[in-house]
Amino acid sequence: MNSDELAKEISRGKKLFSETVRVTSDFLARFADLDPVEIRDFERKRQTLLETLLTFHAELKQRLPVEEKGLPLAMEKQLEEFRIFQEVFVQIIMGKNAAIISQATWSRERLRAELVVIGRGKQALRGYNRRKGPSPNYLDKTG
């Protein structure tokens, strides 16, 4: 692999990382308004992007010599810059994933609380519906 080929591969890797951040950021921004189908679509897209990133990484590693120190200085510099780029983007992705998990947890807890209130309402309705006749405290007007 020469310097130009490495630059093309690095560019492809940067695009993959950028797309992953874009998709994750978009999901996070719209989280509260998404329906279950959109959530599943995001999960599929995210999984596909992660698999593509893993494949990219494996292919790049295969194309480089085992001893990267034998590379020309310009290529070593390109790889080092790309490693820094990767670290920054991985941190961004992990931060966004943590925010998604936090929002999902909060949303789940809110829904659980709403279900408890609904359950109490249903229980109260059942109590009222069981009494078909007058209440024992009801005064008969004929008396």
pTM score > 0.75 for this model?
Answer: no
| Cα(90)–Cα(33) distance, integer angstroms | 26
Which tokens sit at 139? 């005064």
pLDDT tens string for the chain (143 positions)?
Answer: 788 899 999 999 999 999 999 999 999 998 888 888 998 999 899 999 999 999 999 998 888 876 666 778 888 899 999 999 999 999 999 999 999 999 889 988 988 888 888 888 877 777 777 665 555 555 555 55
Phi and psi at 127, nearest 5°, equal -65, -40
**Element (H or E) spanning 83, and its range?**
helix 73-130
